[in-house]
Amino acid sequence: MGSSKMASSSGDSGDSPLSATDFRTYNRMSEQMEGFHSHFRLTWNQLWEACESSGKRGLSARQMIMMGLQFCSQLDFHHSIEEQHIFPVLAKKMPEFRKELELLSQHRQIHAGLEKLEKYLEKCRSGEEDMRREEVKRLMDGFGKVLWTHLDQEVQTLGAANMRKFWSLAEMRRLPM
The 10s digit of each residue's pLDDT in 36-48 is: 999 999 999 999 9
Domain assignment of residue 97, yes or no: yes
**Bridge-partner residues for 130, per DSSP?**
none
pLDDT for 102 equals 74
Residue 92: pLDDT band (50, 70, 90) is: very high
Least confident interval from 7-16, 47-56, 135-144: 7-16
- 134 in a structural domain: yes
Residue 3 has a pLDDT of: 34
What distance in Å separates the CA atoms of residue 176 and residue 88, rounded to the nearest whole number? 11
8 confidence band (pLDDT: 50, 70, 90): very low
- Give the other-Cβ count within 10 Å of 53's Cβ: 11
Number of domains in the chain: 1
Report d(CA 153, CA 103) in Å as an integer. Answer: 8
Q: Is residue 114 part of a domain?
A: yes
* 20: in domain: no
Residues 6+ apart with CB under 8 A from 22: 169
Position 5 in a domain: no
Phi and psi angles of residue 138, each rounded to the nearest 5 degrees, phi first: -60, -45
Summarize the confidence of residues 163-172 as an average pLDDT. 97
CA 165 – CA 94 distance, rounded (Å)? 9
pLDDT of 58 = 81
Chain segment 46-79, per-residue pLDDT in tens: 999 999 986 667 899 999 999 999 999 999 999 9
Confidence band of 13 (pLDDT split at 50, 70, 90): low
16 has a pLDDT exceeding 90: no
Residue 162 lies in a domain: yes
Comparing 4 with 29, which gets the higher pLDDT?
A: 29
pTM greater than 0.75:
yes
Domain span at 116: 27-46+59-174
pLDDT-based confidence at 17, cuts 50/70/90? very high
Residue at 124 is within a domain = yes
Query: Is 13 within the bounds of a domain?
Result: no
pLDDT at 56: 64
pLDDT of residue 9: 44
